[in-house]
Amino acid sequence: MTTANYLSGRKQYTRPQGMLFADNPGVVDNGFHVPTGDEFTNFIILSDDNRDAIDLKTNRIETKQRTINGRMRSYHIADKVNISTSWKSLTSRTASDNLIIDQEDGSTFVPANATSYTSDFGAGGVDLLNWYEEHKGSFWVYLAYDKFSNFGDDKYNKMNRYNEVVEVLFDDFSYTVVSRGATTHDFWDISLSLEEV
């Protein structure tokens, strides 16, 4: 079961990877948004290796109408976000063997005879493709970026966690096999866009 300790130990650097996909909205554990279930089954942590910017575009759903005196009136319904990003030369695999992840503290070990292909143990190209193929409906994306208005009162000490969880659908997914490796892994260019439910 995933916990705040698991996610804290799972990240390679001081902050978590920018995006995480989960099949559930998770829970708040010790102030951390945490998906429930097991990694690579119920959620995947996306690699930041060679990732382009995470582009967030707000789509304001509203009706605008000019009144008889010439002023504009707006009936606001909701703001929905579109999220897009891409990777250049992302490895098709995370590692040459299954990662061993400690379920208590999230620390990641690569078996002695294995090689890690992503620097942060994030999902490789095939993991992303599998997620796309297996999730025809909605799922949740966890985002880690400095939107301090989500942090509440203690906005200076919460950069080390996912601060926004959004239910989304795939709008677009494409990949290109850029180069084929010898016997270890290929390099893929991946582009995806998500639309808030």
pLDDT in tens, 25-58: 999 888 788 999 888 889 999 999 999 999 999 9
Q: Where are the domains of the chain?
A: 4-196
Whose CA is closest to 33, among 48, 13, 16, 55?
A: 16
Tens of pLDDT, residues 134-159: 999 999 999 998 877 776 777 777 77
pTM of the model: 0.85
Q: What number of CA atoms fall less than 13 Å from residue 104's CA on the CB side?
A: 0
Contact between residue 26 and residue 35 where contact means Cβ atoms under 8 Å apart: yes
In this structure, the strands spanning 100-101 and 72-91 are unpaired
Radius of gyration of the chain (CA): 19
Return the residue matching tokens 């290796």. 49
- Amino acid identity, residue 137? G
Q: In this structure, what are the phi and psi dihedrals at residue 124, rounded to the nearest 5 degrees? A: -85, 180
Contact between residue 9 and residue 105 where contact means Cβ atoms under 8 Å apart: yes
Residue 55 has a pLDDT of: 97
Coil, strand or helix: which one is 130? helix
Rounded distance between C-alpha atoms, residue 165 and residue 27, angstroms: 10
Confidence of residue 103 (pLDDT cuts 50, 70, 90): low
Pick the more confident residue, 37 or 90: 90
